[in-house]
Amino acid sequence: MATLTRKELKTDKVSQKVTGLAEFLLNHKQKLLQAGAAALLLTVAGLGIFYYQRSIEAAAGEALGGALVTFHGVVTTTPPVDITVPVFDTAEKKFQQARQEFQDVAKTHSGTKAADWAQLYAALSLRELDQLSEAESELNQITNNDSRELAAQAKMALAGIYHNTNRTSEAEKLYKELIDGSPSVTVPKPTVQMSLASLYLRTDPDQAMRMYQQMSEEYSGTVIGDVVNDLLENRSQ
């Protein structure tokens, strides 16, 4: 008999509870209805579905976490003996393995939030492998995701590709969309503003300086404001 992992045991237990709940509801449906408990029937069934879905998301999140550990693994040919994170002798091997793991998460846990994020990181792995055309294609699809945070991450990564390949107008368009759009937790407005100003440094230095001056006032007294002031000071020397 095969041995179940801890994750499988947890999922199996939840499945057993939901199955048992369903059998109980079927066997006692008439009595419940006769007792005027239709609302209770729906509520209990809904709770069963909720906890089952939560167990699915938890398993998907655990799988995504493992792939992220690979993505952020260490590249070195002389790893310390006590290192506890994945080690690769080349960046290419690391990101190839990471992409495969993210693709596995997206396929195995399709329909979960973790699967959507796995698709993003699979595309980012392509970017790190310098397969920019393929990465661009996958990121473009993710920019239409219903999740605002996920879509913002994809747009920022896509803008970065445009930025680094001298596609200035396309990068500028995406940066401005992110700045003018709804606030994002994972892609803060100051981060996008700094990226746009960096783009202007190469194409329109005066516009870059105006942006830095604006940010200096907007974020006065904050860490971001201090960073911008340092940039302005260095540019004036």
pLDDT single digits (tens) 188-231: 999 999 999 999 999 999 999 999 999 999 999 999 999 999 98
Contact in structure between 99 and 129 (CB atoms under 8 Å): yes
Residues shown for the chain: 237
**How confident is the model over 138-154, as a mean pLDDT?**
95
Indicate whether 15 belongs to any domain.
yes
On whether residue 40 sits in a domain, the answer given is no
Query: How far, in Å, CA of 68 to CA of 59, rounded?
Result: 14
Q: How many CB atoms lie within 10 A of CB 78?
A: 6
Name the residue type at position 102. Answer: F
| Domain range enclosing 117 | 1-28+54-73+84-142
Angle at which helices 168-180 and 189-203 cross, to 10°: 150
Q: Are residues 23 and 89 in the same domain?
A: yes
The answer to whether residues 108 and 176 belong to one domain is no
Q: Which residue has the tokens 């195995």?
A: 108
pLDDT of residue 80: 87
Structure token digits, residue 68: 């992220």
> What local confidence, expressed as pLDDT, does residue 41 receive?
41
Taking the CB of residue 213, how many other CB atoms lie within 10 A of it?
Answer: 13
- Considering the domain architecture, whether residues 158 and 222 belong to the same structural domain is answered as yes
Q: Are residue 174 and residue 230 in the same domain, yes or no?
A: yes
Q: Are residues 155 and 138 in the same domain?
A: no
Q: Which of 12-16, 62-66, 74-78, 157-161 has the lowest mean pLDDT?
A: 12-16
pTM for this structure? 0.75
What per-residue confidence (pLDDT) applies to 222? 92
DSSP state of 53: H
Specify the DSSP class assigned to residue 144. Answer: T
**Last residue of some domain: 94, 112, 142?**
142
With H, G, I as helix, E, B as strand and everything else as coil, classify residue 213. helix
CA angle at 214 for the pair 211 and 218, rounded to the nearest 5°: 135
Partners of 74 in the beta sheet? 87
pLDDT above 80 (res 75): yes
- Are 156 and 102 in the same domain? no
Angle at 179 between CA 151 and CA 232, to 5 degrees: 130
Nearest CA-CA partner of 123 in 108, 103, 104: 103
Same domain, 64 and 5: yes
Same domain, 155 and 106: no
Report pLDDT for 217: 94
Tell me the average pLDDT across 17-37.
50
- Mean pLDDT to the nearest integer, 76-92: 92
Q: Does residue 72 contact residue 87 with C-beta atoms inside 8 Å? A: no
